[in-house]
Structure 1
Amino acid sequence: MSRAAGRVIPPSSNTAGYTLIEMFVTVAALVIVLGLMVSLARYLRNRSGEVMTRAVLVRLDELMARYLSDQQAFPPVPSVHGADEYALQRSALANNQAFAAALKRSGGVESPFSDIPVSLYDGQTVRDSWGRPIVFVPPGVAAVGILPQNRYFFYSAGPDRKY
């Protein structure tokens, strides 16, 4: 009820609040929209990580081709092996640091990694978008779960972070 100039005006009979069902429908719609936004954000994050890692792998391939033409040999790198995930992670890190140091030494005055984002190259290690070291495999060498190839290649652990 409200007062206007000393008179009492009764409330209108057609004013009603929200029903419980209307509130549940609104909350359900908001939850669905929020769920779609979260799943889309996760997809976009993974996709951008894949694109960025692919670009880094292509750049490393270019740098290795230049190194090979200058040095006429592949950089000496330890092979990647391990009985468990921790040993595999250690050997992948040693491999990564060895090839990154060799490529950096052959770069001359300018750093060959200058166009790789700082989040993926910290001065010693080249990582993929998920934080794992990228591994260099020379030709004819078997890697974990990968048969020997006739050409050198780089590989990333990927979004599941397992080699």
Structure 2
Amino acid sequence: MYRIAIETPEDAWEIEALYDLCFAPGRTALSSYRLRDGVDPVPDLCRTARAAEGGFLGGAIRYWPVLAGGAPTLLLGPVAVHPTAQGEGLGGALIRDTLAAAEAAGWARVLLVGDRPYYSRFGFDRLDGIEMPPPTNPDRVLGVELAADAWQGVSGPVTRFDGVHPVQD
């Protein structure tokens, strides 16, 4: 049994170690990290999943503010589950929990770079017209609407967001 909670500053080193374990230390060279570098994540949406007994960190998820075609957007990721906890539905629980929290907070849209077969179960689909920094494969740029027609009319490059976190258009 795992307990999902908002990430605290004390969680940071364990989360980074989990991300290194799951994605390798070279993960920070990915194009999506250029959008995150020097930008604070959205704190109310960053979660951990800890074992009820012993406090083992089984998973973590973070969200970052970006602009997609100039529109305030959440960038989901990374989401990671410790190899010993994979297959238990923990990643899905983190995603569902945080998408509901993002919607409740007034965010309209979320994007990520990932595998469509996995993320489609949460409503994500390929985004045409949204350009992640290269060398991102366009087939892996996925989005979900948290508000009706949130992606309608949104196209163009995904850029860093500098400033106070936007919530909605």
Which of 1 and 2 has greater Rg?
1
TM-score, length-scaled by structure 1:
0.22
Higher relative contact order (CA closer than 8 Å, sequence separation 6+): 2
TM-score, length-scaled by structure 2:
0.21
Q: Which protein is richer in strand relative to its size? A: 2
